[in-house]
Amino acid sequence: MKLALWFIACGTALAQQCTFFFNPASVSAPAASETVGSFTVTASSRTCERNATSTNPDWLTISFGQSGTGNGTVGYRIFANPTPGVRTGAIVIGSTRFTVTQAAGTCSFELSAAAARAGNTAGSGSFRIETRCQWTAQSNAPWLRLSSATSGTGDATISFAYDANPGADIRTGVISVGGRTFTVTQNGTGCTVRINSNAATVPAAGGTGSIDVTGNCNWSATRSQTWITFTGAVNGNGNGSVPYRVEPHTGPARRFGTINVQDQAFTITQEASDLPRITELLNAGSLLPGPIAPGEIVVLKGERFGPDPIVVWEVVDGFLTTRLAETRVLFDDIPSPLIYTLAGQVSAIVPYALAGRTRSQVVMEYQGKRSAAFPADVAPAAPGLLTQSATGSGPGSIINEDGTINGIVNPAARGSVIQIYATGGGDTEPRPEDGKLVTEPLPIIIAPVQVFIGGAVAELLYKGETPTAVAGLDVYIVRVPPAAPQGDFVPLQVRVGGRNTQGSVTVSIQ
């Protein structure tokens, strides 16, 4: 009897210990780009509480499914790896770990300048190295010495000192760091070089100029920035000139560069730009960068464009306008229909005329001023699922068969019909006019489409544009597979023309 009670007591204790199984149990991620995905969690009991935590929240974050009971799905986001080493992290529930291994980032080394000119007297100078990697610095000349650390990791200032040149001739020394070289050229005692001016200010649009040189020996000119280019000879003997050009500037702050003619420094100050600037072009569903597709709804982010507060679309004669609050977006000079515009962010629809192209130049126009062209790759399809949170992750924008919004409170039954909203499906037949509200005949997406719910293939009933909505809002009507797993956060993915939507969207199935 006591033995039986012991077994019962042990059995009860064991039953209260929750265990979890992950599928998959690990993932390998590339270094160069952000990675989003999800994994399913199978619990030993429906009453088991799931509390997921990241061991490395600075680069591995949980996007959805952080807590719950029983089975579920956990979404994650892995940021790009800027470091030169492989890194590992994990998402942990109980004692079970979902392991993430991310490839090492590529080491790069950049110097703030490539050279310096010095007079024949002793002196010193410095330059910056920008990197996240380890580096070692050394000089090849005894008269040129490092006066700061000769090794380190990450960004640093490299300081140096040089002795007086007792000879009449010019001499050259080189500091090597991170595979890059910094050259110091020092005048001899018999060489005198002067320039007619020490500074110039150039507008943001760029411009040209020339430096007059007076000297009695050989001289050469160097530049500190790639946006300064020489348009003539950079070497001379005696009197001469150094012509230069300054490229247009699109940044929000003034920038500075230097032309050195021997030990004479000529500083160029370029004014900040007041032109619009595009910094990101994202799929409006996934909010991820990538190629664009004809008819795709996109979000453009940047600077110096858009009103505050937001201004939403205008419909004129059944079409969205291509101008909204003094804002326009042009793809290869084709104006695109606008969804909304606000300070630093605009949503537009890629013109269908880009079908068949592989590249496009995108320009933002605001209050009559145009940005520099932003290059974008063009693909036949670039699908992205819309989500209820408008973050690109979590529950998708899905309508159940009874007209309710799919979610934990309103899951879809196996065998029922749901509508999944997305964008980026590409060209259709017939091809709609840009910005037109959809009417009969309904435009059908040309590319082949597959819909996966929890890994099970759903029966596709319709793939095309949404009736009465603007062309570019795709809808996939499918029947939930009988084999689809049940849960609050079942992974959902759509494949259009061989391209998958983001892997961080879910649907609720009962």
- Express each pLDDT in 259-289 by its tens digit: 999 888 999 999 988 899 999 999 999 999 9
% of the chain residues with pLDDT over 90? 74
- Beta-bridge mates of residue 277: 303
Same fold, 20-102 and 384-509: yes
Kindly tell me if the per-residue pLDDT of 13 is higher than 60.
no
With a cut of 80, say whether residue 1 has pLDDT above it: no
Q: What confidence score (pLDDT) does residue 2 get?
A: 32
Least confident of 116-125, 301-310, 365-374: 116-125
DSSP secondary structure letters along 175-221: EEETTEEEEEEE--TT--EEES-SEEEE-TT-EEEEEEEEESSEEEE
Which of 268, 266, 262, 267 is CA-nearest to residue 117?
Answer: 262
Phi, psi of 363 (to 5 degrees): -130, 135
Which pLDDT score, from 0 to 100, does residue 15 have? 36
Look up the CATH number of domain 20-102.
Answer: 2.60.40.10
Per-residue pLDDT of 340-377, as tens digits, reads 999 999 999 999 999 999 999 999 999 999 999 999 99
Position 4 scores a pLDDT of 31
Name which CATH class applies to 193-273: mainly beta
How sure is the predictor about 462, in pLDDT bands with cuts at 50, 70 and 90? very high
Instruction: Report whether pLDDT(101) > 50.
Output: yes
Confidence of residue 3 (pLDDT cuts 50, 70, 90): very low
Instruction: Name, of 107-121, 183-197, 495-509, the range with top average pLDDT.
Output: 495-509
* Mean pLDDT of all residues belonging to the chain: 91
- Of the listed ranges 33-47, 321-335, 370-384, 407-421, the least confidently predicted one is 33-47
Q: Which residues pair with 22 in a beta bridge?
A: 41
| Region of 217 on the Ramachandran plot (φ > 0 left; ψ -120 to 50 alpha; else beta) | beta
Q: Which residue has the tokens 């979404």?
A: 75
Looking at residue 37, its pLDDT comes to 87
Residue 279: in which H helix or E strand, if any? strand 277-283
The model's pTM? 0.63
Topology (CATH) of 277-377: Immunoglobulin-like (2.60.40)
384-509 under CATH 2.60.40, yes or no: yes
* pLDDT score, position 253: 83
Q: What architecture is the 108-191 domain classified under in CATH?
A: Sandwich (2.60)
For 125-138, the pLDDT digits (tens) are: 999 998 878 899 99
User: In three state form, how does the secondary structure of 336-385 look?
Assistant: CCEEEEECCEEEEECCHHHCCCCEEEEEEEECCEECCCEEEEECCCCCEE
Q: Where are the domains of the chain?
A: 20-102, 108-191, 193-273, 277-377, 384-509
Whether residue 300 contacts residue 327, with contact meaning beta carbons closer than 8 Å, is answered with: no
Instruction: Report the pLDDT averaged over residues 470-482.
Output: 97
157-181: per-residue pLDDT in tens? 999 999 999 887 889 999 999 889 9
